[in-house]
Amino acid sequence: MKTQDVKYLYISLFIKKSLLLMKMIMKLLMKHGFIHFILTYIYLAWSTLCFFYLEKRYPTLFIGGNPFVLIRQALCIIAERNIVTWPQTYVNKCTPKTEEFFLYIILHQMPEHLVGIEKIDDPNFFEMVEYHYHRAVMIMEKSFLKDLQKYHDLSEEGRTRRVKGIIKVMSVCQNTIEVTFPIRRDNGEYEIITGYRAHHNTHRLPCKGGMRFGPDVTRDEVRALASLMTFKCACCNVPFGGAKAGVVIDPKKYSAQELQKITRRFTLELVKKNMIGPAIDVPAPDVNTGPREMSWMADTYSKTLGLNDINSHAVVTGKPINQGGVQGRSEATGRGIYHAVDNFLSEEKWMSHVGLSTGFPNKTFIVQGFGNVGRFAAVYFTKAGAKCIGVIEREVSLYNENGINPEALIKYFNNKKTVKGFDGADEYNGENLMYEKCDIFVPAAAEKLVKGKDAKKIQAKIIAEGANGPCTPEADKIFLEKNVLVIPDLYMSGGGVTVSYFEWIKNISHVSFGRLHFKYERESNYHLLDSVEQSLKDKIDGVKIKPTDAFERRISAATERDIVNSSLDSSMETAAYRIMETANKYDLCLDIRLAAYCYAVEKIFRTYEEAGLAF
């Protein structure tokens, strides 16, 4: 352990012991009301001063370094111990167990280049993800050290070195390549195209992440999205590492033939660098790409490096059905958002924190971005009983306080390629539609579109992050102070990668879901009904067991889509339960983002710890 770390540890232990001593004295003098009252305020003043001292002397020790959060922690200590009764608003409706607060903030520090990022209006995207990762490590490191006590042959110093080593491995982007290649355009001119592919973490293989087209794609953006994919896969229980790809083009300026040339050549460049393969790296659709591009990539791979690979079609996911795709993939991310929000809406504990009733009925929501993610989220929210009152698109925003029909808007958009002119809602002319009053706001467009200045004006009680990194750390901090529940991107948008995992399983299994057992299960269900009917006939003459229409459809018309949707629902439910469990375990209250990162980081750490660090 470094001398600096030891110094921090001694200071924190001294403060902790002094607070414990004061508590013991106060307990002994509990019957002496006036003296106990005076000591209570002395305790509060001393604990607050201690927090201020550490925050000023060692700012990198604290998560965010916000002195008001530190004061709230001191208030929480008092409130929890019943030394004095504080109003609920002072403790943000939570009373975390903080007796070991000093110990677990001491060992890991926020890197200097990330200190104060929660005060920056437009931070670097990769640094945003790094910041959230290090916040989680600051919470989890003590638990990691405790787990390593099972190795009796390791000294305390050895355990500390091992934990710090794994933390460093988890934090870096392991591979990033930049490729450039020429294409011949339809007019005969040649153009140089630039593309990127990043592998953030290979604790699990293959790596997984989408491929996007965009004129503003950068190396840092690709690395940030790859790192987010690592934590997203871990959070959603998908056994993949994190990756991402991007090609710097505006697809609207290229013909279909030119896009095919770009996609196939980019695939070949990845093949040459050994950055693609069913067991290495499995791309998927992302912004401005879809089943068509995935089909081109799969075909290119299968005719080159994958020529003799029986699993070659598992090289990408999100393919058309006749190319090995899976039913339900196109709407998977939007459906996952619905399940994610539903899991939290169903919990009275979490809804009581934000002042909402449970369930979707009578809830209002606004969607930012009406692409593949936002449109399906709106459809499922509406079917569950919520009302869409606003849609924000780049060229225009639509508002109707009586409700917008998402399915009608989708049909209009598919015909017109824009939401402008839709007669089911009015064009919004106010400052910003996201500031209007609603229960749920779904940012499903792009990263960093919700900044601190926006968070101050947003009135929604739940922020459901459908896009990757839509809220800056500054906005996140303001939402926490306002008692707004932010359901984070690494969980919310996990539906897409979950169903991609199902497609990959289907491809390497070489059989569609249900093909081997649909008929057997159908006949078994009918045999069960017949058995019940025969048993009842012994007691009741003429009785007949008949399945309901819904059960009949489930028995006789089950499809691959049914299995995929059911499995997705189960996966999102399990992940939500684990995130809530983590939030309760570490007393994180409404900071669900931190809880999700803690859960993901813990799983990745255990993978590295049990597999070992090679050489």
- CB neighbour class for 209 (10 Å; exposed up to 12, middle 13-18, buried from 19): buried
Neighbours of 237 (CB within 10 A): 17
Which one, of 333, 341, 336, lies nearest residue 485 by Cα? Answer: 341
Chain centre to alpha carbon of residue 325: 24
3-state secondary structure of 191: strand
CA separation, residue 350 to residues 128, 158, 506, 592 (Å): 26, 40, 37, 10
The two three-digit tokens of residue 1, written as one number? 């352990």
Query: Any idea of the CA torsion for 498, 504, 508, 510, to the nearest 10 degrees?
Result: 90
Non-local CB neighbours of 311 within 8 Å, separated by 6+ positions:
278, 279, 507, 508
Q: Which amino acid is at 265?
A: R
| Helix 332-345, helix 372-383: angle, nearest 10 | 40
DSSP string, 400-446: -TT---HHHHHHHHHHHSSSTT-TTSEEP-SS-GGGS--SEEEE-S-
Q: For residue 110, which phi and psi values (nearest 5 degrees)?
A: -70, 125
Please confirm whether the linkage preceding 182 is cis (ω < 30° from 0). Answer: no
Task: Determine whether 244 is an active site residue.
Answer: yes
Q: What is the C-alpha to C-alpha distance for residues 31 and 158, in angstroms, rounded to an integer? A: 48
3-state secondary structure of 243: strand
Count of CA atoms in the C-beta half-sphere (13 A) of 383: 12
Q: What is the C-alpha to C-alpha distance for residues 231 and 512, in angstroms, rounded to an integer? A: 29
Neighbours of 281 (CB within 10 A): 26
DSSP string, 355-413: T--SSSTT-EEEEE--SHHHHHHHHHHHHTT-EEEEEE-SS-EEE-TT---HHHHHHHH
| Catalytic residue of the set 232, 244, 261, 461 | 244
CA-derived radius of gyration, the chain: 27
DSSP string, 129-153: HHHHHHHHHHHHHHHHHHHGGG-TT
Q: Are 243 and 222 in contact (CB under 8 A)?
A: no
Neighbours of 521 (CB within 10 A): 12
Q: What is the C-alpha to C-alpha distance for residues 608 and 482, in angstroms, rounded to an integer? A: 38
Which one, of 615, 603, 600, 613, lies nearest residue 228 by Cα? Answer: 600
Non-local CB neighbours of 550 within 8 Å, separated by 6+ positions:
none
Q: What is the C-alpha to C-alpha distance for residues 125 and 122, in angstroms, rounded to an integer? A: 9
Q: Which residues are catalytic?
A: 244
